[in-house]
Structure 1
Amino acid sequence: MDTYNVLLIGGGGREHSIAWKLSQSDKLGKLYTAPGNPGTAQFGTNVKIDPLNFEEVETFVLENKIELVVVGPEAPLVAGIADYLTEKNIPVFGPRTSAAMLEGSKEFAKDFMMKYEIPTADYAVFSADEFDDALKFIQLKDSYPIVLKADGLAGGKGVFICDSEEEVQKRLNKIKNDQSLSGAADRLVVEEFMEGEEASVFVISDGHTSHIIHNAQDHKRIGEGDTGLNTGGMGAYCPAPVVTDEVLAVVKEKIIDPTIAGMQLEESAYLGILYVGLMITEDGPKVVEYNCRFGDPECQAILPPLENDLLDLFLATTQQRLDEKSIQISNKHYCCVVLSSDGYPVEYEKGKEITGIENVDEDTFVFHAGTTLKDGKLVTNGGRVLNVVGSGHTLQQAIDKTYENVERIQFENRYYRKDIGHKGLRRN
């Protein structure tokens, strides 16, 4: 059997879970992760490469006989890493820039959905020097809540749900003055607030054929009961009971198929993972957002039940053979809880020693997100530190298993939400 050397781009919990899944493939030769983390190092070699320095990536690929590059995070995709490497005849799993704009620009995504009649919220777009006009527009509508979205990439922190004019003014000022947001807010999308329950559906596409991999429900807000600031994600579980077979059929017919077909018509065939963020409303499922990659932490919940060889799926995608494949998912439930540093997503301390991972059950996964080794000890190195993933034959069992193991891991200033999956329990 042929084996393939793989370079995995990224260094978070998503990439640790992808590395773990790739390591199970008989087709895997050598695995390198750039930059990786202490978790990915368990399955291959971490390499210090800047994923946004495409020439440096190309040099490494050629010197190490890499036969597939798998891109985890969105920033290199939006910046054009797939375009650059593909033009050098290096196979890449991930969309080109023109397709990655579904995530790279909220305005592009909204205009695309309107053009192809894909259900989503009503919206208006304003440039950075038109924030006063945006405020006047919101005042005229006088309908709250209202949603403000920075057009570009903001690490999951560029979306604000405002309940009053006062909060709108506060958030507009934050977007203008916060350096981490202002770069993403050359354009501002003002969006109708959709009532319902959120969920995500994950699709793999080779540009022509697409398959649904799984569905999940993320928990974006920092506080329990979905309160406080938006984060990159505080936990997830799958499957989401709100995504019934009937809902999934509508999502495929009204959203996924028109999206893949629309990108073909735009001459931007979509190759890679398409994350479809949904609001399940009284009028049916509507798109909240697209992402051009696996969600984080949803990826950590949906890869364990995937029974396919992940590398085989990636290769089939890059070789336009996805029509030969079908997706196999176990019927178990999975719950992922994010352990974060207290103060995230604003200010937090790093360098806190982590203990207890060795005490976690063998059938429970701990994926590293923001960790590093210092003087031989594992320490915190980010806002989101670890992902603990447990499973069960019911959602309740999966939740119980996860939290039982969460308590075995300790570090100073540890914070986590204690209500991951509770919406699913209520619906069940």
Structure 2
Amino acid sequence: MRILVVGKGGREHALVRAFAESPSETELFCFPGSDAIFELAKPVEAKDLDSLIAWMTANDIDLCVAGEESYLVKNEGLANACEAAGIPCWGPHKQSAQLEASKEFAKEFLGRHSIPTGGAKACATLEECQQAIAGNYPVVLKFDGLAAGKGVAVCMEAAEGEAFLDEVFVQKRFGEGRVLVEEFLTGPEVSIFAAVVDDRFEIFTPARDYKRIGEGDAGPNTGGMGAVASRRLIPADLLERIEREVVAPTVAGLQSEGLPYRGFLYFGLMLTPDGPKVIEYNCRFGDPECQAVMPLVKGDLASYCLKGAQGELDSSLIEFDDGWSVCVVLASAGYPESSSSGDRIEGLEHVDLVYHAGTKRTDDGHWETAGGRVLAAVAGGSDREAAVTAAHAAADKISFDGAQRRRDIGIMHFEES
């Protein structure tokens, strides 16, 4: 089975490793990939979506897997282009990926299908946003478009709101786009992942990520500084409620609106006093949640995704470990405002499981940082405490100049458990 994974970060490193460990015989490729990924997969000679499709066609690729969200909505869309070329793709069509690419589209979809979520107003200008907020803080502000996990600001006071709106409308950090002024919801967050094949779905292991840079959820949002995953993360009856009130209506809504979907679908949820409410959709696996979840997925993920892309959801091919997994991210100096590169990384040889996100290998064979979230140390255990201890012990063995990490990953939000 010849599989090509699209993306270059820690999520794609985790997916490629999971495919490599599948019992099916696989030959793996990745675009654009990274030095770490290319230890498991072969590079691809392509420069854009058109040349990538041409390469896949010429090289008899059996399955294309969308890791990175941007390719799903770029040009005609990765899945759409694959379908036209007759290549099975594990990832949704461009029109369906608007659930992630447009916060406004997602909010309207939630409303049409009576799926619980917070109230929101779409605004086109700075002045409209200010009028919609009307001084009522806290509030959540969301850029209506892809922003690599950084287009959402939870603003507790006016200074934070004005700073984010300045980034959007004055600095245009994310390009042109509207902003959703959204109701501030309270409660613990949980990430639910489902494999969706047309009108059927299967829920994977739930996870919880830690978005802010500092311990105690201090500082600006990031792409995610760590995650914890387990089938025991939330009670079984709550997961059943989420499936009934959120997941099933979403899948049914996609079908009723003629939005083709075969791939992973992420539900970011807030467990409010009134029940679970959707914060956001992502049309691929989360990052860094994928790095925490993948070690708990056992079986033949490669065949599972191939059959899913071909229209068959075969749950017999995989199973889920009942234990816990914790992922601790080490980020570069200055992140997320800036990013340092070229810092030598020490200690990787002493850690069993590391997923690379922003690294490169030097000519003399050493690893150094390439900016952003550099890597993630991951470990598991039969209970949360054991997994937390093992993951942080692993992260302690890795060092580079200016490394940033949170030491409360897997601990915060569990104080009363």
Q: Note if 1:350 corresponds to 2:341.
A: yes
2:308 partner amino acid:
T
Match of 1:396 in 2: 385
Gaps of 5+ in 1: none
Q: Note if 1:263 corresponds to 2:258.
A: no
Distance (whole Å) between structure 2 residues aligned to residue 324 and residue 424 of structure 1: 31
Correspondence list, 1:346-425, <5 A: 346-360=337-351, 364-376=352-364, 377-425=366-414
Residues 54-93 of structure 1: per-residue CA shift (max 9 Å, x gap)? 2111121122221111110100012211101111111111
Moved over 6 A (4+): none
Give the total of aligned pairs.
Answer: 414
Distance (whole Å) between structure 1 residues aligned to residue 391 and residue 14 of structure 2: 16
SS in 2 for 1:419: coil
The one of 277, 294, 299 equivalent to 1:303 is 294
Match of 2:201 in 1: 210
Q: Would you say the 8 A contact 1:334–1:395 is kept in 2?
A: yes
Q: TM-score, normalised by structure 1?
A: 0.93
The one of 212, 215, 222 equivalent to 1:224 is 215
Gap change, CA 1:425 and 1:240, over 3 Å in 2? farther
Distance (whole Å) between structure 2 residues aligned to residue 168 and residue 415 of structure 1: 25
Distance (whole Å) between structure 2 residues aligned to residue 216 and residue 272 of structure 1: 18
Q: Would you say the 8 A contact 2:10–2:375 is kept in 1?
A: yes
Match of 1:55 in 2: 50
- CA shift, 1:158, in A, is 0.8
Distance (whole Å) between structure 2 residues aligned to residue 398 and residue 424 of structure 1: 15
Match of 2:154 in 1: 161
- CA shift, 1:269, in A, is 2.5
- CA shift, 1:240, in A, is 7.3
Gap change, CA 1:137 and 1:44, over 3 Å in 2? closer
Match of 2:102 in 1: 105
SS in 2 for 1:28: coil
Distance (whole Å) between structure 2 residues aligned to residue 416 and residue 48 of structure 1: 35
- CA shift, 1:398, in A, is 0.5
Gap change, CA 1:102 and 1:325, over 3 Å in 2? farther
Gaps of 5+ in 2: none
Distance (whole Å) between structure 1 residues aligned to residue 45 and residue 34 of structure 2: 11
- CA shift, 1:126, in A, is 1.1
Distance (whole Å) between structure 1 residues aligned to residue 172 and residue 343 of structure 2: 27
Gap change, CA 1:315 and 1:240, over 3 Å in 2? closer
- CA shift, 1:48, in A, is 4.9
Gap change, CA 1:88 and 1:424, over 3 Å in 2? same
2:320 partner amino acid:
I
Residues 352-380 of structure 1: per-residue CA shift (max 9 Å, x gap)? 111211112xxx31011001122232111
SS in 2 for 1:176: helix
Gap change, CA 1:424 and 1:398, over 3 Å in 2? farther
Q: Note if 1:76 corresponds to 2:67.
A: no
Match of 2:264 in 1: 273
Distance (whole Å) between structure 2 residues aligned to residue 340 and residue 281 of structure 1: 30
Match of 2:128 in 1: 133
Correspondence list, 1:112-131, <5 A: 112-127=109-124, 130-131=125-126
Gap change, CA 1:102 and 1:303, over 3 Å in 2? same
- CA shift, 1:163, in A, is 2.1
The one of 11, 18, 22 equivalent to 1:21 is 18
1:12 partner amino acid:
G
Q: Would you say the 8 A contact 1:300–1:367 is kept in 2?
A: yes
1:68 partner amino acid:
L
Q: Would you say the 8 A contact 1:242–1:424 is kept in 2?
A: no
Gap change, CA 1:229 and 1:174, over 3 Å in 2? same
2:69 partner amino acid:
E
Correspondence list, 1:231-250, <5 A: 231-239=222-230, 243-250=234-241
Q: Would you say the 8 A contact 1:209–1:323 is kept in 2?
A: no
